[in-house]
């Protein structure tokens, strides 16, 4: 068996294999962002499917940072008990779970929050301007919100937290010259653009202590003109490494990168050479950085995943859409059935999550319905 099933560690956290469920918004939380039994059951299903570490869907750290409906919240102590029931259920099933801490920045859903989106700069999109530029006071509040959210996650029994600094959400906007037009200490050079991310990390670290694993998801590149480059990503990773970050997950793209280069690229990955969206950037990262790396995006084949690890391009293999289609994919592969994931990467799964039904694979549901009809 390949080393995909090696037992692994991230700081104090021991994991049974190298497979990670990358953060995936499930659209299953209640209107106020609290965790539901449906979401808990979904997480337990993932544990039973064999994944070593689950990263929750992005949880908004303050109200104005909500990105969409049915999203988990972590902005208030009142949300802790339901989350604690979820972590207890995951642990009872033998799993490990991290909470992803997020703020959508100027991509927040104003229609849901009733608050103007807040970003590094006013973003002049095609549909007019979005939000307002964060003042220095807003930045301190943001950092504090992430800190409090991490404290709550620890109290709720999560095994780790992951800072969401990818996909053109708030912290990724600060990193990106495409969104960040500031001329103060939080804009300009990459060190300045990374300042808030390091402040968030330091603040969280002070709150959760030295042993609690703190992870980050960041873009390998933004794939927009004038966005964060791969070289800048390596520089940020180096700053985070010096600061004590426990692991980095590399993703890429933003809402403005187009369907072909978005974080959730559309298109079936027909052959192994088309898989792994950020292979080159993982190589750049591994040349310079020593902290554990997770790579997500477009990994569909067992052999491709095994080779990525064997070649030292990643320490962990992160999957999102393949586990929507097949929550038991990891155990299927472990059992010796190493056929490719059946996920078509067509993104139809967004629709039920958006319309209140909760995340599921639409293609699979249609196939099942057809099979039932023909019986």
Q: Which stretch binds ligand FMN (CB under 6 A): 123-131, 134-142, 278-286, 316-324?
A: 316-324
- Among 11, 148, 251, 257, the residue binding ligand FMN under the rule CB under 6 A is 251
**Nearer to ligand FMN among residue 182 and residue 308 (C-beta):** 308
Residue 298 makes contact with ligand FMN by CB under 6 A: yes
Q: Strand, helix or coil at 319?
A: strand
Instruction: Based on the shown chain and the rule CB under 6 A, indicate whether residue 314 belongs to the binding site for ligand FMN.
Output: no
Stretch that binds ligand FMN, among 202-210, 220-228, 319-327, 328-336 (CB under 6 A): 319-327
Which of 11, 22, 87, 219 touches ligand FMN by CB under 6 A? 22
Q: Select the residue interacting with ligand FMN from 320, 327, 329, 360 (CB under 6 A).
A: 320
Cα–Cα distance for residue pair 220/24, rounded to 1 Å: 18
Contact between 58 and ligand FMN by CB under 6 A: the answer reads yes
Q: Of 164, 193, 235, 256, which one interacts with ligand FMN (CB under 6 A)?
A: 164
- Count of residues touching ligand FMN (by CB under 6 A): 26
Is 17 near ligand FMN (CB under 6 A)?
A: no
Decide whether 182 or 263 has the Cβ nearer to ligand FMN: 263
Choose, by CB under 6 A, the member of 11, 66, 87, 100 that binds ligand FMN: 100
CA triplet 83, 49, 334: central angle to 5 degrees? 145
Interface residues for ligand FMN in 166-195 (CB under 6 A)?
A: 166-167
Position 344 contacts ligand FMN (CB under 6 A) = no
Residue 263 makes contact with ligand FMN by CB under 6 A: yes
Question: 83 near 37, Cβ under 8 Å?
Answer: no
Q: Which residues lie below 8 Å from residue 178, measured CB to CB, with a gap of 6+?
A: 222, 224, 225, 226, 227, 228, 254, 256
Q: Which residue among 319, 329, 344, 362 contacts ligand FMN (CB under 6 A)?
A: 319
How many whole angstroms separate alpha carbon 162 and alpha carbon 6? 22
CA dist., res. 249 & res. 314, Å (int):
10
Binding part of the chain for ligand FMN, among 105-113, 196-204, 222-230, 318-326 by CB under 6 A, reads: 318-326
- Which of 296, 317, 329, 361 contacts ligand FMN by CB under 6 A? 296
The two tokens of residue 315 are: 């320490």
d(CA 237, CA 190): 11
- Say whether residue 350 binds ligand FMN (CB under 6 A): yes
Shortest spacing between CB 180 and ligand FMN, in angstroms: 19
Residue number, 66 or 320, with CB nearest to ligand FMN: 320
Q: How many residues are present in the chain?
A: 375
DSSP codes of every residue in 153-178 = HHHTT-SEEEEEE-TTSHHHHHH-TT
Burial bucket for residue 127 (CB in 10 Å: 0-12, 13-18, 19+): exposed
Among this protein's residues, is 169 annotated catalytic?
yes
> What residues between 191 and 230 interact with ligand FMN by CB under 6 A?
217
Among 205, 269, 189, which residue's Cα sits nearest to residue 240?
205
Q: Is the dihedral of CA 296, 300, 304, 305 positive or negative?
A: positive
Q: 39: phi > 0 → left, psi -120 to 50 → alpha, else beta; which?
A: alpha
Minimum gap (Å) between residue 172 Cβ and ligand FMN: 10
Cα–Cα nearest to 152, from 64, 76, 71, 40: 76
Which residue out of 60, 169, 302, 360 is catalytically annotated? 169
Catalytic residues: 169
Question: Interface with ligand FMN by CB under 6 A: which residues?
Answer: 22-25, 57-58, 100, 164, 166-167, 217, 251, 263-264, 296-299, 319-322, 349-350, 353, 359
């Amino acid at each position: 068996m390949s080393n995909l099933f090696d037992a692994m560690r991230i700081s104090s956290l021991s994991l049974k294999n190298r497979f990670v469920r990358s953060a995936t918004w499930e659209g299953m939380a209640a209107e106020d962002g609290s965790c539901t039994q449906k979401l808990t059951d979904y997480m337990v299903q993932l544990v039973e499917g064999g994944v070593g570490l689950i990263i929750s869907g992005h949880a908004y750290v303050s109200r104005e940072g909500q990105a969409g409906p049915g999203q988990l919240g972590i902005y208030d102590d009142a949300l802790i008990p339901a989350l604690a029931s979820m972590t207890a259920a995951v642990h009872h099933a033998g799993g490990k779970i991290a909470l992803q801490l997020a703020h959508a920045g100027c991509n927040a859903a104003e229609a849901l929050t009733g608050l103007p989106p807040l970003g590094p700069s006013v973003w002049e999109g095609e549909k007019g301007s979005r939000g307002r530029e964060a003042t220095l006071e807003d930045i301190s509040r943001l950092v504090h919100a992430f800190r409090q959210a991490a404290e709550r996650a620890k109290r709720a029994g999560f095994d780790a937290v992951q800072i969401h600094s990818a996909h053109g959400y708030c912290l990724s906007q600060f990193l990106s010259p495409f969104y960040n037009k500031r001329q103060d200490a939080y804009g300009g050079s990459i060190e300045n653009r990374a300042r808030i991310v390091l402040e968030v990390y330091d603040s969280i670290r002070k709150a959760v202590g030295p042993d609690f694993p703190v992870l980050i998801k960041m873009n390998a590149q933004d794939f927009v003109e004038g966005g964060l480059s791969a070289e800048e990503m390596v520089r940020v990773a180096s700053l985070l490494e010096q600061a004590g970050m426990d692991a980095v997950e590399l993703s890429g793209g933003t809402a403005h990168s187009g369907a072909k280069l978005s974080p959730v690229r559309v298109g079936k990955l027909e052959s192994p050479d088309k898989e792994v969206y950020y292979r080159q950037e993982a190589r750049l990262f591994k040349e310079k950085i020593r902290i554990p790396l997770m790579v997500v995006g477009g990994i569909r084949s067992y052999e491709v995943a095994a080779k990525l690890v064997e070649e030292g391009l990643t320490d962990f293999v992160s999957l999102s859409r393949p586990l929507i289609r097949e929550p038991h994919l990891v155990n299927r592969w472990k059992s010796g059935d190493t056929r490719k994931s059946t996920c078509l990467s067509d993104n139809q799964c967004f629709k039920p999550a958006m319309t209140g039904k909760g995340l599921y694979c639409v293609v699979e549901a249609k196939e099942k319905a057809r099979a039932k009809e023909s019986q």
